[in-house]
Amino acid sequence: MEQVIIIGAGPCGMSAAAELQNKGINPLIIEKGCIVNSIYGYPTFMNFFSTPELLEIGGIPFVISHEKPTRQEALTYYREVAARREFRIHTYEKVDAVDKQEDGTFTVRTTKRNGEHAEYRTRFVVIATGYYDNPNYMNIPGEDLPKVSHYFKEAHPYQGMKVAVIGGKNSSVDAAMDLYRAGADVTWIYRGSEYSPSIKAWVRPVFESMVNKGWIKAMFGTEVKSIHEDHIIVEQDGQEMKLENDAVFAMTGYRPDRTFFHALGVTVREETGEPEHNPETMETNVPGVFVAGVIAAGNDANVIFIENGRFHGGILAEEIARRTAGLTVK
């Protein structure tokens, strides 16, 4: 019997593990990918907006020689945290189901990388699954073609290609600029009528300049209707157009995975997508089920980041430690 199982080995899941360790509880973390899998999926040459001290977890300093850490530096840091804190992490093991038992404990069923199934019992479950693994699909014909991606890694392979970037926020703008610099013929497609206010203040003037100079073609008030092997169909002002195209990056955002919430009976607020939980303990309406990180924010992923989600671990650790005092693991 485990005392605590944490689903998700992102920064907030590992922060929760560290805080639980500080209370004398050694949780098991189960992660369907690698540790900090979302950060691994970020663009190869990405820089964080945050300074390193705002990304620290587990009481281990994040030291770099410049102001903003790179993706690679973050990956190195979180690997070091996992090693130094000696977290028990099962990577590449997917949680298939979490079932509550009559005695109030939980059964966690998983599939390992080799296809084998495993089953664990635990007193408490912490859901820290994030949202980056679940893109918002456009649900249009051709979206499943190999040339379409909802993630941007790097621009080099697209030199000389006609590339469409769909979306109006930071990820789409950054991708469009990187692709142009690598020699791609870039068309940026946004259904809004003007630039999004969420674009980083220091990036927008550069991007606008590229558009004004004709280096990047920007199409406002435009929606992609279908994607084909060598072209896309877009609609602008009620008119459909055919654009030659070799690759599509649909940077349309991401959403939380609420599978475990629904299966366990956790109430999800219809208007916000937020799981019902007590912010003073991070426990949901299902006793013994806690949330940590961006999954607690519901549909608005801009409310919780690593910077503030990392503190959820300390809150829930206090509550779990209080309730496990005097209990023995059997």
Domain boundaries, the chain: 2-133+254-324, 148-250
Report the number of secondary-structure helices (H) and strands (E) in the chain.
8, 17
* Cα(98)–Cα(102) distance, integer angstroms: 13
Q: Residues 6 or more apart from 287 whose CB is under 8 A from it?
A: 104
303 in Cβ contact with 296 (< 8 Å): no
User: What angle in degrees, to the nearest 10, is found between the helix axes of 11-22 and 71-85?
Assistant: 30
User: Would the CATH topology of 2-133+254-324 be identical to that of 148-250?
Assistant: yes
pLDDT score at 302: 60
CA atoms within 13 A on the CB side of 53: 1
pLDDT score at 49: 83
pLDDT score at 274: 87
* Cα(102)–Cα(120) distance, integer angstroms: 16
Q: What are phi and psi of 72, to 5 degrees?
A: -65, -40
* Cα(43)–Cα(270) distance, integer angstroms: 32
Residue range 145-187, pLDDT digits in tens:
999 999 999 999 999 999 999 999 999 999 999 999 999 999 9
3-state DSSP call for residue 12? helix
Which parts of the chain sit beneath pLDDT 70?
A: 299-305, 326-330
* Cα(67)–Cα(188) distance, integer angstroms: 30
Task: Using only the alpha carbons of the chain, give its radius of gyration.
Answer: 22
* Cα(256)–Cα(133) distance, integer angstroms: 8
3-state DSSP call for residue 21? helix
The fold of the 148-250 domain, in CATH, is: FAD/NAD(P)-binding domain (3.50.50)
Q: Which two tokens stand for residue 186?
A: 């870039």
CATH 3.40.50.10800 fits 2-133+254-324, yes or no: no
* Cα(305)–Cα(48) distance, integer angstroms: 12
pLDDT score at 278: 95
pLDDT score at 311: 87
In this prediction the pTM is 0.90
pLDDT score at 260: 82
pLDDT score at 114: 96
pLDDT score at 300: 65
Q: What are phi and psi of 89, to 5 degrees?
A: -125, 125
* Cα(106)–Cα(5) distance, integer angstroms: 10
Please, what is the average pLDDT of the chain?
93
For tokens 């997917």, name the residue: 94
Q: Residues 6 or more apart from 299 whose CB is under 8 A from it?
A: 255, 256, 272, 273, 274
pLDDT score at 204: 95
